[in-house]
Structure formats: structure tokens, C-alpha cells
Structure 1
């Protein structure tokens, strides 16, 4: 099985494509608490790979938290034309 290449790159501005809730990965925050609303801006701070699922995994800094996200949870941020 070939390794799936990431759609996004380190440093890229992205938006949350859907509401993002705590799935238990932030133990200091209540589980199922809404962390980032759909459309919330973030920046890719690391790109990794889940070997078993063969998918890219992204660490995204949303300002309120750094969250691990899959591609379907993100959308590219459209930069304003000057």
C-alpha cells in the first residue's frame, strides 16, 4: 500500500471544516466540549502520518488549542487578494 501524500503543508493557514469537540485527547478539558467552531482559523504546525490507517494527520494551532486533525476536518483558508 502506497503512503498517501498530505494535502496540506506545514505553516499553511486552514479552517475547521466542521465543529471540533474534545474527544478525550485534552484531559484538562471536559470531554465533548466544543473547542473550535466550523470556520475557525488555524495553522498547520506539524504534519504526520497514521501508519495503520495510511492517512496524513495534522497538528493544527487554533489559538485556543493545538489539535490533531484529519484532512476531512480541515479546509484551506482563502487568502484575500490585495
Structure 2
């Protein structure tokens, strides 16, 4: 399976959420499907990685209150 290519965004880049982001179970202290980030919320990319099997870029974005959420490229946009 081929990934979506090279990273579209860089570490330190300011971005905004393009959609509401909900808990997929990654935040055990929050209910499943709890709203984590609202569409339009600003954040900053603090790390760029990739899914091992698909090579899909994954962006760790720090949104307000030091909440770091893993995002796909279509879930964020440059500010």
C-alpha cells in the first residue's frame, strides 16, 4: 500500500483545524468521541512522523491548553 507522499507541512508551522476533531480513543482521560478540537482552532506542528505501513504523514499539532493531537494532512491547513 502506498502512502500519500512526502510531508505537506513542517515542524513549527502554524496551522488550523479544517474539521472538528474527536477522540478516537487516543485520550483515555476523555470519553470516546469527545470533541478535542473545533474546526478553525489554531495550533502549531510540534512533530512530523509517518504511519509505518502506509507511509502516510502524521502531524502532531499542539492546540490550545497544551493539547497535542495527531492529524492527517486533510485535517489541517496553513494559517
Query: What CA distance in whole angstroms lies between the structure 1 residues aligned with 2:45 and 2:72?
Result: 11
Query: Does the C-alpha gap of structure 1 residues 53 and 76 become closer, same or farther in structure 2, counting only changes over 3 Å?
Result: same
Residue 76, structure 1, aligned to residue 78, structure 2: yes
TM-score for both structures, normalised by structure 1: 0.86
Structure whose alpha-carbon radius of gyration is higher: 1
Deviations 1:7-47 (A, max 9, x none): 00000000001000111100011111111110000000000
Unaligned runs of 5+ in 1: 78-82
Q: Alignment partner of 2:26: what SS? A: coil
Residue 52, structure 1, aligned to residue 53, structure 2: yes
Q: How does 1:27-46 map to 2 (within 5 A)?
A: 27-46=28-47
- Give me the CA root mean square deviation: 1.6
TM-score for both structures, normalised by structure 2: 0.89
Measured after TM superposition, the shift of residue 2 of structure 1 is: 7.9
Query: What CA distance in whole angstroms lies between the structure 2 residues aligned with 1:2 and 1:67?
Result: 20
- Deviation beyond 6 Å, 4+ runs, structure 1: none
